[in-house]
Structure 1
Amino acid sequence: MGLQLTASGTEFAPSVGFPELALWTGSVPGAAGSIRQHAGFEQVGGAPHHGFGQDLIGRDRRLIL
């Protein structure tokens, strides 16, 4: 489902004029990480934060369309 949702978003966005997609993610690895990587999102920044009861690294990701 995540792969289909990501594909739909990355196909739709340029059709309505978006030049890029940006998202913020946490540092917990998982299937979503491989989906973002497969779609071409690149990490462009990050900073430590506390969330979900643990210390994490927030990651800024971008996909140029």
Structure 2
Amino acid sequence: MLCSKCNKNAVTFIRYSGMHLCKFHFNEFFERRVKKTLRKQNVEGKIAVGVSGGKDSSVALYIL
């Protein structure tokens, strides 16, 4: 499959929107989604992140 935005090889499919996304556009989509959620929840200031060194907590630390 090809990315719905740039026609490069897609790495993921976003089921609810029907979009196939390449690595670059998936990262852009994910970061935008996190920012939108934080604004919606009125999260301001500092955020504590517990990091175990695993992939999930590492991504959470990076994105925040």
Establish whether TM, by shorter chain, passes 0.5.
no
Higher percent of residues as helix: 2
Larger radius of gyration: 2
TM-score (norm 2): 0.29
